[in-house]
Chain A
Amino acid sequence: AQSVTQLGSHVSVSEGALVLLRCNYSSSVPPYLFWYVQYPNQGLQLLLKYTSAATLVKGINGFEAEFKKSETSFHLTKPSAHMSDAAEYFCAVSDQEGAQKLVFGQGTRLTINP
């Protein structure tokens, strides 16, 4: 079965600093990979997705993620953090059974310090 591991349940950075949220996946076949963001008291919102077209994927709000097959990683980055980036971030991978649904990681809560 597919699985996703997000390293670090909480990440804290200063405003203007680099944001790096880590995601590793296990998959025996090339997967679809996603990052979703959940702002306080809201549902999840798609940030970006990888579907094998390009290894560097750009998303909304200045975020991007790089697919590294050799490392089975799909880390999320943003060069300069903004206060509005404070949220919980989920990495997800497509399941193997016909790719009907996604398997989500445990989530990483991002805090931005002024």
Chain B
Amino acid sequence: NAGVTQTPKFRVLKTGQSMTLLCAQDMNHEYMYWYRQDPGMGLRLIHYSVGEGTTAKGEVPDGYNVSRLKKQNFLLGLESAAPSQTSVYFCASSYRRMVDTEAFFGQGTRLTVV
């Protein structure tokens, strides 16, 4: 049972490049989330999904897009990377709302945009 797996774990991008972060969970969870973690700011929600085929904006969605074509996968895309998107990105999933059931987090993706 792998839980929540994020791919890749590390990446360096040049400004303007694009990339996709993959989050995969094998727990049949309905809810999935993408957070970014920056020093002194805790975790901020980028986008989330309450089920296959659905997505919603979080606190800091600008510059990111997401897709949830399959229940087990939640993709986070950066169309044109900017240095301000240098961060550690965490994916999480939960069976129901985060307030009702435990959320499980991946190990994170450390992204540097130069």
User: Residues of A with Cβ closer than 8 Å to B?
Assistant: 6, 9, 32, 41-46, 51, 90, 94, 98-107
Contact = CB atoms under 8 A, between A and B. Distances in A.
A33 to B, nearest CB: 10
A89 B10 CA distance: 23
B62 to A, nearest CB: 17
A43 B40 contact: no
26 contacts: A6-B42, A9-B40, A42-B107, A43-B90, A43-B106, A43-B107, A44-B105, A46-B102, A51-B99, A90-B43, A94-B99, A100-B48, A100-B50, A100-B98, A101-B33, A101-B45, A101-B48, A101-B97, A103-B59, A104-B35, A104-B42, A104-B43, A104-B44, A106-B41, A106-B42, A107-B40
B92 interface: yes
Chain A interface helix/strand/loop/mixed: loop
Contact of A102 (B50, B98, B106): B98
B101 to A, nearest CB: 10
A105 B40 CA distance: 9
Interface residues of B, number: 27
B77 interface: no
B24 to A, nearest CB: 14
A104 B58 CA distance: 13
Contacts of A45: 105
Contacts of B102: 46
A47 B24 CA distance: 23
